[in-house]
Amino acid sequence: MIRQVCINCGEEHEADEIVYFCRRCGDLLEIEYDYEELAERLERSDWRSLPLSVWRYRDFLPIRDLSKVVSLNEGGTGLHLCSRLAKVIGLKRVYVKNEGENPTGSFKDRGMTVGVTKALELNMKTVICASTGNTSASLAAYAAKAGLRCIVLVPSGKIAYGKLVQALAYGAEIVQVRGNFDQALRTVIELSERHGEVYLLNSINPYRLEGQKSLAYEVCDQLGGRAPDRVVLPVGNAGNISALWKGFTEFYRLGLVDSLPRMVGVQAEGASPIAQAIKRGSDVVTPVENPETVATAIRIGAPVSWKKALRAIRDSDGTAETVTDEEILEAQSMLARCEGLFVEPASASSIAGLKKMVELGEIDRDETVVCVATGHGLKDPDVMRRVGKPLEADADVQSIERLLGLTRPSRIEAS
Ligand code: F0G
């Protein structure tokens, strides 16, 4: 039994009702299962023998007709033990879950494989989203695979070039709107409410978040059936932190792990309404009017899932932190140089946030920490100007030796 339940008043909505907000109070919805039924199904299931991927967890997902699944082989991303990074930061064990390894290079693919499959189940012909870039790239790819029309609204001039190129290549109809992400989101919500045949796949859609929770399941399985002590991730529109928390709590509830992690949300200083609310100890979030950060993926002033995010942080005894653009870019470079992982600025904010918390003495040296690197570095090459320029030389051995200070090998004399 699957239901869409209001996170505020508990009102239940049918699984197949096309609804994005509670019909009674207007708050966000969440997918709920009959967990006893799920536990029984798991006993009969061969899920543990399936390879790591989103669909390994099909029993935990709200899709019953597997013949409709739209997949590009998402999930199963690396959980990298980052010893050199840990040493620099001053911790014993830091892992990076590298979501850039997904088909379109971000964690959004976990959500879209489920969300677009749901769109097919519901017989929708058009899908729509507002995006700072990654959501549009991902939706465009899955819509292409499913043969659906895809419309995306992006803030004009403010999204990373690589992401725009992806969405165009996959054939989406892209509209650059004169406004920021928050305005674009308000517009697509209204459009999908006026046009019933247009299915909204922003993270308001609870089916999409069901796919994203698989990241938490994978981390537990990759750690050998244990949850980490702490999970650090960037927060923008605030869907992902709540999806991950749901995943961890479900594994805990089903007896698949025996502890829960503390969730740490990291935001860029110029776009940090959730971190500010946590620091103030407030139950409401005050939107940031003109959000600004080099991490364009999380350049969001009015996160739609703020209530879910505050709950995830408080229920997990977690926290939120802000980082400057400078700290983000420094962390991006550090992760690439220490660990060979090139991630986009928003993703690097989790590393920057972790570093800051260690410096502030807020994290125990012995904790097992997982940082989520949400998207690939190649999506946003512009910000990497600070990596420096290549050197230049004539194409001969002597020039290169001189340039790089390579000493000439001494000749081995024939005896
Ligand atoms: N990291 C990256 C790389 C993202 O693209 C996003 C969100 C986040 C983190 C934050 O996740 O919104 O669930 O809190 N990108 C959205 C987009 C907004 O349109 O691509 P969140």
Q: Is the CB of 162 under 6 A from ligand 1?
A: no
CA distance 353 to 346: 11
Q: Is the CB of 296 under 6 A from ligand 1?
A: no
Q: Is the CB of 4 under 6 A from ligand 1?
A: no
382: pLDDT confidence band, cut at 50, 70 and 90?
confident
Atom 6 in ligand 1: which residue has the minimum CA distance?
Answer: 297
Unique residue bearing structure tokens 């792990």: 257
Q: Is the CB of 305 under 6 A from ligand 1?
A: no
Helix 239-253 vs helix 306-315: crossing angle, to nearest 10: 40
CA distance 205 to 16: 12
The domain limits of the chain are 79-105+209-387
158: pLDDT confidence band, cut at 50, 70 and 90?
confident
* Contact call for residues 106 and 80 (beta carbons, < 8 A): no
Q: What is the mean pLDDT of residues 379-404?
A: 87
CA atoms within 13 A on the CB side of 393: 12
Q: What is the three-class DSSP state of 191?
A: helix
- CATH of region 79-105+209-387, choose from 3.40.50.80, 2.40.50.220, 3.40.50.1100, 2.70.98.10: 3.40.50.1100
What is the reported pLDDT for 385? Answer: 64
407: pLDDT confidence band, cut at 50, 70 and 90?
confident
**How much distance in Å is there from the Cα of 1 to the middle of ligand 1?**
30
Round the average pLDDT of the chain to a whole number and report it: 96
Query: Which residues in 135-147 are b (16+ Cβ under 10 Å) and which e?
Result: bbbbbbbbbbbbe
The pLDDT tens digits for 184-237 are 999 999 999 999 999 999 999 999 999 999 999 999 999 999 999 999 999 999
CA distance 308 to 277: 13
What is the reported pLDDT for 339? Answer: 98
Structure tokens at 122: 């519901």
**How much distance in Å is there from the Cα of 237 to the middle of ligand 1?**
6
CA distance 229 to 369: 6
**How much distance in Å is there from the Cα of 352 to the middle of ligand 1?**
17
- Residue 415 reports pLDDT greater than 60: no
Q: Is the CB of 166 under 6 A from ligand 1?
A: no
Q: Is the CB of 344 under 6 A from ligand 1?
A: yes
Q: Is the CB of 297 under 6 A from ligand 1?
A: yes
Q: What is the mean pLDDT of residues 3-29?
A: 97
| Alpha-carbon 89 to chain mean position | 23
- Show the DSSP H helices in 18-157 as ranges: 35-44, 83-89, 108-121, 134-146
Name the nearest CA neighbour of 237 among 280, 287, 284, 276: 287
**How much distance in Å is there from the Cα of 20 to the middle of ligand 1?**
19
51: pLDDT confidence band, cut at 50, 70 and 90?
very high
- Residue 119 reports pLDDT greater than 90: yes
Atom 19 in ligand 1: which residue has the minimum CA distance?
Answer: 131
**How much distance in Å is there from the Cα of 296 to the middle of ligand 1?**
9
